[in-house]
């Protein structure tokens, strides 16, 4: 019997009861590591904050699938639909193997899940037939009759909401969430304040998600545009030398007059042109003209290349020697005339005007072409020969042709919107453009050749060709540094503007020829056919007017990337002549309206946004709120937002979503927390004294449920679902679920409390409640081997150290986990306990041999604790101190030794067990640590006093 409309109206969602976070983490990490191989990256690699499609799929399915009274079966069906079951994994691994090796795929299926994922294709990379075996099992469990995701989602959407599910994201960003929802078959509403975000989202639906017929039309339009520009370039004869060679890259540098010597000096941080090809620049003094010629030279040895490493820009100074004897060194700040006017940075640079695109003769900074890389196709093949050459008079003549062409057309192109005429608004990211170069309009960031390419391209009014514009300007700008370290692709590389998320000025840059950049006009987009209804609008999240069933959002909490500023780099090119498809969006970054940061304005903006979503959601609607855990006040902030928006938490999950990176000071986030939210339907009141047992009961029930499911999975021979970090998040969720169910606590209206402005350094009522809830949740994370009463006797820092030793034993070494637990246990300086070799995804605690005798006394949190005394005793054993002497020292170092003695022995046993199975490295000897701990445990127990 088919599912009936609203049959599941009041059924809880699967994501509210279970979520296989370890497998989803492995899949998410795999996708994030794919880099340019990710599905939507080709639309705009400059937008970095992308939540993995696989995670978005899990959220959408988890919000729609019902939680039944058979959680193990629910899990099996979910994993089938996610492509995580063993049969699908076999297909995914086979897709990476040659036919001759597919017989050994079973050898991979016994590996840990994350190892299987590393070897396998991602589900999105394979055709829909990947799931052909799943539908009979899915239909049998759910009562559906589907043979595709679009059919399944329509049927379960009708069972929940009476129609195909409507999914919305009002912070759409790069469009990852809306695209995945549409690809699965949901109707989608996407919006963002930023028109570039709207454009990326539109591109996911209409380019990557285009039908086969539309893709042909798109490809033809791109090829036609590239051909048109190449024809114009060839007609002008500005990129050929007349001998069969075509230009690949032009290298430019700034030049200044040295006030100390009177010489004109090229600003080159390095004289290396190409490490791979062993090419360097040599400065040849021309004393009569007080300037340098620049010769491009091929050298013979790596040593000669290394000798050219240091150029004329050193530590903010220009350094040069015309005669090889006297060295002149002058600060560039001095040449530029930097000074402070109150709080404002100023200097003597002339601000460029709207008509400028090259420096004027009397400007402080001039610009110079100093090298050209040429390429020529080899006979009888597709490969090329490459040459770096000294700039010739013929090259300069071709440069002048380009300058004259742009000079002739610039005013007209600016009037028509082909080239920007938009002023640069000062901000955190854009201020340096004024201060460091004198650039006042966005087109100043592009030289004549770059303005020519992009100006010609921008004359197309075909929507898909506007993606060529954003791709071109990201690779054709005065901000594209020259990377001389590349050994392939001709021996060097002109980097993207946004190879990091900032508008960084450079002293020398690479300018690609049109031949070298034409591929970005016609990229190889991936193809998925999106047939559901999609809408993209540009407005603030709080101006939403359309009702939706499910909201999945990733708001810009504490976002260090100033998208509202850096995207003006692109907006400037598109705002005056957007195609019809984009014309209804507001082509302005609207910085003042952007929700950003962590301050009071952010919280108020978030409340307005989530309150509007709550209003425009059915009574059984559901929201999934994603955020990265960067701030110690995050839980209180989110509780404020949730309370004030009329929502309550029903679940929380933690998924690793980011790639590894070096350990940085402060937070180094590698994961995403997802809060599952429902409308708060009842007006309930309680008192804080009564909350304790209720939170405790809720956390206990949550823990028992998840641990029970984990044991059932392990009993069937599968890997466990959850680590302590996952259980910690689930405990927080249970606590928040209890808290946010109440409208009034201690007689205080929680909406009013949530909306009250924060006072710096002062805890609010909500902060105190969250602290209480978190501490209550943490109490249930008692390691096996300790009684709850024993565990609570330990200092917070001792519990943290022992708990993280267990996490390491479980194989979890994400720095993020240490940070999260440190916040939960109220550890202020957890970094004191961490090994100096810690990295983001290979962090670990110090061993006793790394503590040595440090932090025995003083202000350190671990100082003077029984655990610290025990670790010192273990260290002494490794230094071959006699056991009896070690025990005497332990008695001196450990306060209240006699009553603490049984607990010391238990801690030693515990550390021995947790260290025993860890893999040693050159700097890490867990076996020796385990042995010392075991000896101490026996010695303490057998000690005669």
pLDDT at 244 over 80: yes
- Of the listed ranges 270-274, 430-434, 545-549, 722-726, the least confidently predicted one is 722-726
Q: How confident is the model at residue 634 (pLDDT cuts 50, 70, 90)?
A: low
pLDDT at 661 over 50: no
- As a whole number of angstroms, the distance between CA 239 and CA 244 comes to 11
Q: Looking at residues 318-335, what average pLDDT do you find?
A: 95
Q: What is the pLDDT of residues 398-427, one digit of tens each?
A: 999 999 999 999 999 999 999 999 999 988
- Residue 488: what pLDDT? 59
- Residue 707: what pLDDT? 74
Q: Looking at residues 906-926, what average pLDDT do you find?
A: 81
Q: Where does residue 348 rank: exposed (0-12), middle (13-18), buried (19+ CB within 10 A)?
A: exposed
614 Cα distance to chain centroid: 28
Residues 909, 922 contacting (CB under 8 angstroms): no
Q: How confident is the model at residue 771 (pLDDT cuts 50, 70, 90)?
A: confident
Q: Looking at residues 877-901, what average pLDDT do you find?
A: 91
Residues 471, 516 contacting (CB under 8 angstroms): no
Report for 47-51, 329-333, 561-565, 742-746: range of highest mean pLDDT: 329-333
- Residue 561: what pLDDT? 65
For 158, the 3-state DSSP assignment is helix
More confident residue, 12 or 705: 12
Residues 930, 911 contacting (CB under 8 angstroms): yes
For 369, the 3-state DSSP assignment is strand
Question: What is the DSSP annotation of 451-502?
Answer: HHHHHHHTT---GGGHHHHHHHHHHSSTT-BEETT--STTT-EE--GGGSSS
More confident residue, 78 or 344: 78
Token pair recorded at residue 504: 């960084």
- Residue 632: what pLDDT? 46
Q: Looking at residues 825-831, what average pLDDT do you find?
A: 86
Q: Looking at residues 846-853, what average pLDDT do you find?
A: 90
- Residue 660: what pLDDT? 41
- Residue 597: what pLDDT? 59
Q: How confident is the model at residue 756 (pLDDT cuts 50, 70, 90)?
A: confident
Q: State how far the alpha carbon of 720 is from the alpha carbons of 67, 265, 724, 792, 845, in Å.
A: 20, 64, 11, 27, 24
Q: What is the pLDDT of residues 281-296, one digit of tens each?
A: 999 999 999 999 999 9
- Residue 633: what pLDDT? 58
pLDDT at 238 over 50: yes
- Of the listed ranges 111-115, 658-662, 876-880, the least confidently predicted one is 658-662
Chain-wide mean pLDDT for the chain?
A: 89
- Residue 527: what pLDDT? 85
Q: How confident is the model at residue 662 (pLDDT cuts 50, 70, 90)?
A: very low
Q: What is the pTM of this model?
A: 0.84
Q: How confident is the model at residue 658 (pLDDT cuts 50, 70, 90)?
A: low
Q: What is the pLDDT of residues 247-265, one digit of tens each?
A: 999 999 999 999 999 999 9
Q: How confident is the model at residue 517 (pLDDT cuts 50, 70, 90)?
A: very high
Q: What is the pLDDT of residues 805-820, one digit of tens each?
A: 888 887 777 777 787 7
pLDDT at 875 over 80: yes
- Of the listed ranges 179-188, 488-497, 563-572, the least confidently predicted one is 488-497
Q: What is the pLDDT of residues 139-177, one digit of tens each?
A: 999 999 999 999 999 999 999 999 999 999 999 999 999
CB within 8 Å of 341: residues ≥ 6 apart: none
Report for 475-479, 638-642, 920-924: range of highest mean pLDDT: 475-479
pLDDT at 665 over 50: no
Q: Looking at residues 612-641, what average pLDDT do you find?
A: 83
Q: What is the pLDDT of residues 522-532, one digit of tens each?
A: 888 888 889 99
pLDDT at 635 over 90: no
pLDDT at 380 over 80: no
CB within 8 Å of 425: residues ≥ 6 apart: 565, 568, 591
- Residue 177: what pLDDT? 97
Q: How confident is the model at residue 560 (pLDDT cuts 50, 70, 90)?
A: low
Q: How confident is the model at residue 659 (pLDDT cuts 50, 70, 90)?
A: very low
The separation between the first and the last C-alpha atoms of the chain, rounded to the nearest angstrom, is 77
More confident residue, 564 or 247: 247
More confident residue, 768 or 516: 516
User: What is residue 208's DSSP assignment?
Assistant: I
More confident residue, 512 or 346: 512
Q: State how far the alpha carbon of 879 is from the alpha carbons of 496, 609, 852, in Å.
A: 54, 61, 10
CB within 8 Å of 339: residues ≥ 6 apart: 345, 346, 347
Which run of H or of E encompasses 256? strand 246-257
pLDDT at 325 over 50: yes
The closest alpha carbon to 425, from 564, 577, 561, 578, belongs to 564
Q: Looking at residues 380-405, what average pLDDT do you find?
A: 93
User: 71-82 and 53-64 helices cross at what angle (nearest 10)?
Assistant: 140
- As a whole number of angstroms, the distance between CA 500 and CA 45 comes to 11
Give the CA radius of gyration of the chain: 32
Q: Looking at residues 342-365, what average pLDDT do you find?
A: 92
- Main-chain phi, psi angles of 35, to 5 degrees: 60, -120
Q: State how far the alpha carbon of 276 is from the alpha carbons of 269, 487, 508, 732, 920, in Å.
A: 18, 4, 19, 53, 37
Q: What is the pLDDT of residues 183-216, one digit of tens each?
A: 999 999 999 999 999 999 999 999 999 998 999 9
User: What is residue 651's DSSP assignment?
Assistant: E
The residue with tokens 């933690």 is 654
More confident residue, 727 or 829: 829
């Amino acid at each position: 019997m088919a599912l009936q409309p609203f049959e599941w109206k009041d059924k809880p969602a699967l994501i509210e009861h279970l979520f296989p976070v370890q497998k989803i983490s492995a899949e998410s990490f795999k996708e994030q590591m794919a880099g340019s191989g990710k599905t939507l990256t080709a639309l705009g690699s400059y937008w970095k904050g992308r939540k993995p499609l696989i995670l978005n799929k899990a959220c959408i399915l988890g919000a729609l699938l019902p939680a039944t009274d058979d959680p193990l079966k629910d899990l099996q069906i979910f994993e089938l639909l996610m492509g995580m079951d063993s049969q699908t994994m076999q297909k995914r691994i086979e897709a990476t193997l040659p036919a001759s090796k597919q017989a050994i795929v079973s050898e991979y299926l016994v590996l840990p899940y994350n190892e299987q994922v590393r070897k396998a294709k991602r589900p999105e990379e394979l055709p829909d037939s990947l799931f052909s075996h799943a539908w009979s099992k899915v239909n049998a469990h759910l009562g559906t009759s589907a043979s595709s995701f679009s059919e399944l989602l329509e049927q379960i959407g009708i069972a929940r909401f009476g129609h195909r599910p409507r999914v919305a994201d009002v912070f759409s960003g790069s469009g990852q969430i809306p695209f995945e929802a549409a690809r699965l078959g949901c109707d989608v509403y996407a919006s963002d304040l930023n028109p570039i975000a709207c454009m990326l989202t539109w591109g996911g639906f209409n380019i990557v998600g285009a039908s086969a017929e539309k893709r042909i039309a798109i490809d033809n339009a791109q090829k036609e545009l590239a051909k048109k520009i190449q024809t114009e370039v060839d007609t002008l004869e500005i990129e050929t030398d007349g001998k069969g060679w075509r230009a690949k890259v032009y290298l430019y540098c700034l030049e200044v007059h040295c006030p100390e010597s009177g010489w004109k000096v090229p600003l080159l941080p390095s004289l290396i042109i190409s490490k791979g090809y062993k090419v360097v620049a040599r400065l040849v003094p021309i004393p009569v003209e007080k300037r340098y010629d620049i010769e491009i030279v091929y050298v013979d040895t790596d040593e000669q290349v290394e000798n050219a490493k240091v150029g004329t820009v050193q530590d903010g100074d220009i350094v040069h020697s015309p005669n090889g004897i006297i060295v002149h060194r002058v600060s560039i700040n001095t040449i530029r005339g930097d000074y402070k006017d109150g709080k404002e940075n100023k200097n003597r640079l002339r601000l460029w005007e709207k008509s400028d695109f090259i420096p004027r003769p009397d400007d402080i900074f001039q610009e110079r072409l100093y090298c050209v890389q040429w390429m020529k196709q080899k006979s009888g093949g597709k490969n090329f020969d490459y040459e770096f050459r000294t700039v010739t008079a013929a090259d300069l003549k071709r440069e002048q042709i380009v300058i004259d062409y742009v000079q002739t057309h610039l005013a007209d192109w600016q009037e028509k919107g082909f080239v920007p005429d938009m002023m640069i608004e000062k901000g955190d990211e854009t201020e340096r453009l004024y201060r460091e170069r004198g650039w006042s309009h966005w087109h100043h960031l592009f030289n004549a050749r770059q303005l020519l390419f992009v100006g010609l391209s921008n004359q197309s009014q075909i929507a898909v060709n506007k993606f060529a514009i954003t791709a071109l300007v990201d690779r054709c700008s005065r901000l594209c540094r020259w990377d001389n370290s590349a050994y392939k692709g001709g021996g060097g590389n002109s980097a993207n503007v946004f190879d990091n998320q900032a508008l960084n000025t450079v002293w020398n840059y690479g300018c690609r020829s049109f031949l070298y950049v034409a591929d970005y006009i016609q990229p190889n987009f991936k193809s998925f056919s999106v047939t559901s209804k999609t809408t993209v609008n540009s407005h603030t999240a709080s101006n939403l007017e359309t009702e939706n069933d499910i909201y999945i959002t990733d708001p810009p909490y504490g976002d260090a990337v100033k998208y509202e500023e850096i995207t003006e780099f692109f907006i400037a090119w598109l705002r005056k002549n957007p195609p019809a498809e984009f014309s209804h969006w507001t082509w302005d970054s609207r910085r003042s309206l952007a929700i950003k940061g962590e301050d009071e304005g952010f919280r108020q903006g978030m409340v307005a946004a989530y309150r509007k979503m709550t209003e425009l959601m059915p009574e059984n609607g559901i929201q999934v709120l994603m955020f990265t855990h960067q701030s110690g006040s995050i839980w209180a902030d989110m509780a404020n937002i949730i309370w004030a928006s009329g929502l309550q938490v029903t679940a929380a999950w933690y998924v690793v979503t980011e790639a590894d990176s070096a350990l940085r000071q402060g937070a180094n986030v590698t994961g995403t927390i997802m809060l599952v939210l429902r409308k708060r339907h009842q007006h309930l009141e309680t008192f804080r004294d009564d909350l304790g047992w209720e939170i405790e009961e809720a956390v206990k029930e949550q823990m028992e449920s998840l641990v029970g499911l984990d044991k059932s999975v392990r009993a069937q021979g599968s890997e466990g679902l959850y680590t302590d970090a996952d259980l910690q998040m689930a405990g927080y969720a249970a606590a928040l679920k209890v808290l946010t169910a109440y409208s009034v606590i201690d007689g205080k209206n929680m909406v009013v409390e949530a909306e009250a402005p924060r006072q710096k350094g002062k805890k609010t009522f909500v902060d105190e409640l969250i602290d209480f809830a978190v501490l209550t949740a943490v109490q249930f994370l008692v390691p096996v081997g300790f009684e709850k009463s024993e565990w609570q006797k330990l200092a917070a820092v001792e519990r943290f150290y022992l708990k993280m030793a267990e996490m390491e034993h479980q194989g979890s070494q994400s720095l993020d986990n240490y940070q999260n637990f440190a916040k939960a246990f109220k550890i202020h300086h957890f970094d004191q306990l961490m090994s100096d070799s810690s990295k983001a995804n290979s962090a670990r605690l110090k061993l006793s041999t790394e503590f040595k005798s440090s932090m025995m006394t003083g202000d350190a949190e671990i100082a003077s604790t029984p655990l610290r005394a025990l670790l010192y005793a273990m260290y002494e054993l490794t230094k071959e101190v006699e056991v009896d002497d070690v025990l005497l020292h332990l008695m001196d170092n450990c306060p209240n030794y006699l009553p603490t003695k049984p607990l010391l022995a238990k801690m030693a046993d515990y550390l021995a067990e947790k260290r025993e199975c860890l893999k040693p490295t050159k700097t890490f000897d867990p076996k020796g640590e385990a042995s010392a701990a075991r000896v101490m445990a026996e010695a303490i127990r057998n000690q005669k006093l």
